[in-house]
Structure 1
Amino acid sequence: MDFQPTLPIPISFISGRYLLFSIDFVTYLRREHNICGVLTGTLPQIPQQNVFLGLPLELMPEEARVLVDKGVACIVDEAKAHQGMQSLLEEDRRKYLRELESQGLHASRIFAERKGQKKAETLKKIAEKKAKGKAQAKPQSEESVNAATATSEPSAANDEPASVVDFFAGDTPTPSTSSKGTSTGTPAAQAFHVTPATSYPPLPDPTTSSELIVFRPDVPSSYPLFAHMHSRGYFLSPGLRFGCQYVAYPGDPLRFHSHFLVVSSEWDQEIDLMDIIIGGRLGTGVKKGFLLGGPRQAKTEDGSEIERTESVRTFSIEWAGM
């Protein structure tokens, strides 16, 4: 069952950056609201950090703003929120640490179960391979069969193949193999160390305090075009590597190639013709369209200005002969 969070989702505002530390929130926003962001954290188990990164997920100001405008998220000032750590009672601290230890024990037990299943599957495959080899072998004399069995099969004291025993010997000791553990539980020394991604709990939910909410993120002038493309179902990511403001995908970037290089412009802004030619040739060279757009400076009958995010015009430029 897909995770359904309680709205609004808190987006952490730290040093001018908009961050998400919960993997549940990250997957929900990507699945339901076309928000990808950029992973910026390190992964302790993967030394090659130039390929894969982890939490937190950093959002562009435009992504944070569109979520706030839709009522899906709110911006939380984490510096103010964490001032509550100073007044946290000692009993609350101990309770929180006990909960983390309990989670570590639970994760350790799950790891041990999965390791046991993996070991059983490996032994089963080896036994099936042996049985298949014996069935296909030519009939031999009883003496040669006994000799081959004595040299190829493990002894009665150790009925597992040596290679399998060595393979599993290096694993983390499980509750059943630990000299200090018992059959009823895992000792504290074997519990996995859990590092929470957020401070809620022990701190209270920040969305319940109006003092912590930063209402609307500041966005660049390109936001109307970003909101327009997002409302049409596109996934947008930063376009620095293609020399544009955004790269627009028709679906999740994990499944689709991008369709447009997106550049924003004001309605009455003068545009150098060479910039249009360069953008069109670049887009065609990387098999994408060059999309130029911006909000119209239109007014209603009573003279009030039309909402900029709802009055955007876009133009796509492609070279047909390349």
Structure 2
Amino acid sequence: MDFQPDLPVPISYVSGRYLLFSIDVVTYLRREHHICGVLIGTLPQIPQQNVFLGLPLELMPEEARLLVDKGVACIVDETKAHDGMNTLLEEDRRRYLRDLESQGLHVSRIQTDRKERLREQTMKKLEEKGAKKKANASAAAAQTSAVPEDPTSTPPQSQKDASTVNLFAADESQSSSPAIEVSKNTTPQAPVAITPATSYPPLPTPSPSSYLSAPTVPPSYPLFAHLHSKGYFLSPGLRFGCQYMAYPGDPLRFHSHFLVVSYEWDQNIDLMDLIVGGRLGTGVKKGFLIGGAQKGIDDVDSEADRIDTVRAFSLEWAGM
């Protein structure tokens, strides 16, 4: 069953960034509201890696503003939210440490059981190999028993193998039992150090009176909201030299269709910018989309009216 959070979901405002720390909320916003964001978290044990990033998810101001305008999310100042958690009760701290130790012991037992199974598999393979060699040696000895032996001749190779197998079996019988006994009488296992990646339960959502105001957004926000209302997934377009990348579906399943750049309604556009954008978009198999809101956009009464004032055009190069 799909997760349905209590609305509005809190967006943490930390040092000028809008962050989400709950994987359930991230999944919900991506599935229901086409909000992708950018993962910026590194693994606790591998802080230097920068390929497989994880939580938190950073939202563009436009994404955060869109969610606030739709009533899906609220902005929470994390500094103020943590004011009441400056001190941790001693009993809570001990309970938390005991929980981490319990998790570490569980991991340690799993590792020990895995090593024990591997050792047993290795011993079984050695026993099977020794039994096979012994059977081959016995069969070879039976075949040569009818042939008179020459006192001056050397023992056949099969007898050498049989004697080697017997010596191997004797050494194994003498050495394996003590090893097994030692493994059974080992000292108590030390717990594996656990570095928690998340903290649960999350902080309680503050009262509406403590919500921050809607994020300040760039002039390109009307075009962003317009394309989002048409069902597009939008992500930052820096690597393609534009403001946004517009995807017809989830970016995990689709390539982007447009390089998006916003302009003011009465802004003069350099023709070379259109040529460069159009050629770039065609070169990477995408359309170059420009657009903006009509002048006087701040005078409209509702968000829907403001989005409806946006006009957009796409440019593509075609061979003649």
Query: Taking structure 2 as the reference length, what is the TM-score of the superposition?
Result: 0.73
Partner residue in 2 for 1:184: none
The percent of aligned pairs where both chains have the same amino acid is 55
Does structure 2 conserve the Cα–Cα contact (< 8 Å) formed by 1:225 and 1:295?
Answer: yes
Deviation at 1:135, TM superposition (A): 11
Counterpart CA distance in 1 for 2:170 and 2:20 is 55
Identify which of 282, 286, 289 aligns with 2:287.
Answer: 289
Deviation at 1:63, TM superposition (A): 1.0
Cα 1:192–1:314 shift into 2, 3 Å: same
Cα 1:154–1:18 shift into 2, 3 Å: farther
Q: CA RMSD in A?
A: 4.0
Counterpart CA distance in 1 for 2:251 and 2:128 is 45
Partner residue in 2 for 1:179: 187
Does structure 2 conserve the Cα–Cα contact (< 8 Å) formed by 1:267 and 1:296?
Answer: yes
Cα 1:122–1:66 shift into 2, 3 Å: farther
Name the one with the larger helix percent: 2
Partner residue in 2 for 1:100: 96
Aligned residue runs from structure 1 range 82-161, under 5 A: 82-86=82-86, 88=87, 93-112=89-108, 114-115=110-111, 118-119=114-115, 122=118, 140-142=136-138, 143=159, 144=161, 147-148=164-165, 151=168, 155-156=172-173
Counterpart CA distance in 1 for 2:4 and 2:191 is 33
Deviation string, structure 1 residues 143-180 (Cα, Å, up to 9, x no partner) = 536735865999346669x9xx9xxx9xxxxxx99734
Aligned residues: 293
Counterpart CA distance in 1 for 2:124 and 2:31 is 42
Does structure 1 conserve the Cα–Cα contact (< 8 Å) formed by 2:108 and 2:191?
Answer: no
Instruction: Flag the structure with larger Rg.
Output: 2
The residue type equivalent to 1:179 in the other structure is: T
- Aligned pair 1:61/2:42, yes or no? no
Partner residue in 2 for 1:70: 70
Identify which of 302, 307, 318 aligns with 1:309.
Answer: 307
Aligned residue runs from structure 1 range 229-248, under 5 A: 229-248=227-246
Moved more, 240-249 or 146-155: 146-155
Deviation at 1:272, TM superposition (A): 1.7
- In structure 2, stretches of 5+ residues that fail to align are 139-158
Does structure 2 conserve the Cα–Cα contact (< 8 Å) formed by 1:248 and 1:259?
Answer: yes
Cα 1:233–1:127 shift into 2, 3 Å: farther
Aligned residue runs from structure 1 range 251-290, under 5 A: 251-290=249-288
SS of aligned partner of 2:280:
helix
Does structure 2 conserve the Cα–Cα contact (< 8 Å) formed by 1:104 and 1:191?
Answer: no
Counterpart CA distance in 2 for 1:314 and 1:135 is 80
Aligned residue runs from structure 1 range 27-42, under 5 A: 27-42=27-42
Counterpart CA distance in 2 for 1:177 and 1:10 is 52
